[in-house]
């Protein structure tokens, strides 16, 4: 129990001033003479005083913590390094401010909504990061109703009072498709992410648009839940057809890696028989065989930007949206010229 034994009262007594004045001095507020301020700070330092977060929380009605609630299927969560990187990025901005991150991992949407309510009813957090945006996302009106500041990771498809950090996935998908077309591919399929998630459906429509712009007929798309298992299933379906695609654009890397496995299992050579591309450039991509051609994104940059924006919002009541640079295609060995176009 080495928790703050020394309180503001001790400092006040030692300095011969009131607790109020000490508080003012410590919080750098005007109305304290320079010499008093210096003396008070000195005494606080000497006494080893550190503020009681609990007392400050009670009187200021703030919790000095930010929240993140993740409602992904554990399987999808585990195979995708987005959140670890994102969180590491967030922490770089929270830690210096003495703010903590409260994390919830919940199994379903009902629990998720309940969790947000509990978070504000308990006054656990001063703001939250909203990730994995969905169509007509019910969390946005909920948070608005709860009066909880938030920043959304991605641009919502509905009216939103919250600033957003977004990155356009379109250029990365378009670049991927153009690259495949330039290699000679004409039958290109897409293993899409969850259509309920904005980034899932946006990557998909980017794919459709890119094909059209290349003058190709619409390609096959298979919807998944972004999981490795679903990616493998989709790849199997696509590749065991009569006239299989010569290239598959996967909406994320874990599914693409599963696709690589399926191709090998079916005795297909990558990229000779089928080219495979991913999205995100997770660490695995460099070490599978052939190494995965994919689009690089930077989750920790999202984390940093989101953290800064949320702080901004809480401090000033408003904060500008942030557009992160679009991901670029990283060319490796998993895509190449089709042997039988």
Binding site for DNA (CB under 7 A): 4, 7-9, 16-24, 26-27, 30-36, 49-52, 54-56, 58-61
Which one of its own copies, DNA, none is in contact with 23 (Cβ closer than 5 to 8 A by kind)? Answer: DNA
CB of 129 to DNA, least distance (A): 25
Task: Tell me the C-alpha distance between 78 and 331, whole Å.
Answer: 26
Which one of DNA, its own copies, none is in contact with 228 (Cβ closer than 5 to 8 A by kind)? Answer: its own copies
Q: Are 15 and 47 in contact (CB under 8 A)?
A: no
Q: Which is nearer to its own copies, 19 or 155 (CB)?
A: 19
Q: Which is nearer to DNA, 64 or 179 (CB)?
A: 64
Q: Residues 245, 201, 179, 266: is their CA dihedral positive or negative?
A: negative
Q: Which residues pair with 322 in a beta bridge?
A: 165
Which one of DNA, its own copies, none is in contact with 36 (Cβ closer than 5 to 8 A by kind)? Answer: DNA
CB of 198 to its own copies, least distance (A): 22
Which one of DNA, its own copies, none is in contact with 16 (Cβ closer than 5 to 8 A by kind)? Answer: DNA
Three-state SS at 313: helix
CB of 245 to its own copies, least distance (A): 19
Task: Please tell me the chain's helix, strand, coil percentages from 3-state DSSP, rounded to the nearest 5.
Answer: 45, 15, 40
CB of 188 to its own copies, least distance (A): 22
Which one of DNA, its own copies, none is in contact with 336 (Cβ closer than 5 to 8 A by kind)? Answer: none
Q: What does the DSSP assignment read for 182-226?
A: HTT---EEEEE--TTBHHHHHHHHHHHHHHHHTTPPPPPEEE--S
Q: Which is nearer to its own copies, 135 or 286 (CB)?
A: 286
CB of 35 to DNA, least distance (A): 7
Cα→Cα distances 101→54, 69, 165, 200, 303, Å: 16, 10, 18, 27, 12
CB of 20 to its own copies, least distance (A): 18
Three-state SS at 134: strand
Q: Tell me which residue of 213, 118, 68, 46 sits closest to 38, measured CA to CA.
A: 46
Q: Which is nearer to its own copies, 8 or 120 (CB)?
A: 120
CB of 11 to its own copies, least distance (A): 16
Q: Are 188 and 220 in contact (CB under 8 A)?
A: no
Peptide bond into 220 cis (omega under 30): no
Q: Which is nearer to DNA, 39 or 296 (CB)?
A: 39
**Pairing relation of β-strands 322-324 and 188-192?**
unpaired
CB of 127 to DNA, least distance (A): 17
Which one of DNA, its own copies, none is in contact with 214 (Cβ closer than 5 to 8 A by kind)? Answer: none
Read off φ and ψ for residue 317, nearest 5 degrees. Answer: 80, -5
Task: Tell me the C-alpha distance between 250 and 231, whole Å.
Answer: 8
Which one of its own copies, DNA, none is in contact with 250 (Cβ closer than 5 to 8 A by kind)? Answer: none
Q: Tell me which residue of 313, 66, 295 sits closest to 199, measured CA to CA.
A: 295
Q: Which is nearer to DNA, 52 or 158 (CB)?
A: 52
Which one of DNA, its own copies, none is in contact with 320 (Cβ closer than 5 to 8 A by kind)? Answer: none
DSSP character at residue 217 = P
Q: Which is nearer to its own copies, 17 or 306 (CB)?
A: 306
Q: Which is nearer to its own copies, 137 or 281 (CB)?
A: 281
């Amino acid at each position: 129990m080495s928790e703050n034994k020394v309180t503001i009262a001790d400092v006040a007594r030692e300095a011969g001033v009131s607790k109020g004045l000490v508080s003012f001095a410590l919080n750098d507020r005007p109305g304290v003479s320079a010499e008093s301020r210096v003396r008070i700070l000195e005494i606080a330092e000497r006494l080893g005083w550190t503020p009681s977060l609990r007392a400050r929380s009670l009187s200021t009605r703030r919790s000095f913590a930010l929240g993140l609630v993740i409602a992904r299927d554990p399987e999808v969560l585990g195979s995708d390094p987005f959140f670890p990187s994102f969180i590491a990025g967030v922490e770089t901005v929270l830690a210096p401010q003495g703010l903590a991150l409260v994390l919830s991992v919940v199994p379903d949407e009902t629990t998720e909504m309940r969790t947000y309510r509990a978070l504000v009813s308990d006054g656990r957090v001063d703001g939250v990061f909203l990730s994995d945006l969905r169509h007509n996302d019910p969390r946005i009106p909920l948070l608005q109703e709860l009066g909880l500041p938030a920043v959304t990771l991605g641009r919502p498809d509905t009216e939103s009072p919250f600033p957003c950090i977004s990155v356009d996935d379109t250029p990365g998908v378009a670049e991927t498709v153009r690259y495949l077309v330039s290699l000679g591919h004409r039958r290109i399929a897409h293993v899409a992410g969850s259509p309920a998630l904005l980034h899932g459906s946006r990557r998909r429509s980017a794919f459709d648009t890119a094909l059209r712009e290349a003058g190709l007929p619409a390609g096959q798309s298979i919807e998944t839940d972004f999981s490795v298992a679903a990616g493998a299933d989709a790849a199997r379906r696509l590749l065991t057809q009569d006239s299989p695609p010569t290239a598959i654009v996967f909406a994320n890397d874990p599914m693409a890696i599963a696709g690589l496995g399926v191709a090998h299992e079916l005795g297909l050579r990558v990229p000779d028989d089928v080219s495979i591309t991913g999205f995100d450039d997770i660490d695995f991509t460099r070490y599978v065989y052939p190494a995965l051609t994919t689009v690089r994104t930077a989750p920790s940059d999202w984390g940093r930007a989101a953290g800064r924006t949320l702080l901004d919002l809480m401090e000033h009541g408003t904060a500008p949206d942030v557009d992160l640079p679009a991901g670029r295609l990283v060319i490796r060995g998993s895509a190449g010229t089709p042997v039988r176009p």
